[in-house]
Amino acid sequence: MAGVVVAGAGQAGFQVAASLRTDGYEGSITLIGDEPWLPYQRPPLSKAFMTGKQDIEATTLRPETFYPDHHIDLLVGERVVAIDRAQCTVTLASGAAISFESLVLATGACNRLLPIKGESVICDPVTRRSPSQHGCRTRKMSW
């Protein structure tokens, strides 16, 4: 059944999916995020995590079991690349097409880095979790 598709599995996308289910929505819910992690909170990355008071895993909003337990289909590492409003489908970078009755765009925003010449290690303003789990603290920039 084509239910709700949420594009973007940040805090907003996660909360839409979770609230729909806990508030009684009975249709299918598909939460799609292009980052490879379970949905997580960004604020601790520049606070408790950065100061070493919180493990990176503690930023995760809910454990993996939350999603099947609440009948939410979570697709991580998948990017929505096209929306067909007439057919009510989204297409993923992997090529799969998913039908929706309602589509939520919760894709957030990205910072634009200043094109400053030179090379320096700066505090990364687009702080996100990274494969090294430390790359989100600083990033070496060079132009």
Ligand X SMILES: Cc1cc2nc3c(=O)[nH]c(=O)nc-3n(C[C@H](O)[C@H](O)[C@H](O)COP(=O)(O)OP(=O)(O)OC[C@H]3O[C@@H](n4cnc5c(N)ncnc54)[C@H](O)[C@@H]3O)c2cc1C
- State the residues that interact with ligand X by CB under 6 A: 7-13, 32-35, 42-43, 45-46, 79-80, 106-109, 127
Q: Which has the closest alpha carbon to 40: 69, 70, 68, 74?
A: 74
Q: How far is the CB of 137 from ligand X (least distance, A)?
A: 10
Q: How far is the CB of 89 from ligand X (least distance, A)?
A: 14
Give 47's DSSP letter. Answer: T
Contacts (Cβ under 8 Å, ≥6 apart) of 82: 90, 91
Q: How far is the CB of 18 from ligand X (least distance, A)?
A: 12
| Closer by beta carbon to ligand X, 28 or else 91 | 91
| Closer by beta carbon to ligand X, 117 or else 134 | 134
Give the whole-angstrom CA distance, residue 87 versus residue 95. 16
CA angle 107, 57, 122 (to 5 degrees): 65
Which residue bears the tokens 């809910």?
A: 62
| Closer by beta carbon to ligand X, 52 or else 118 | 52
Q: How far is the CB of 105 from ligand X (least distance, A)?
A: 9
| Closer by beta carbon to ligand X, 21 or else 129 | 129
Q: Which has the closest alpha carbon to 55: 42, 65, 70, 45?
A: 45
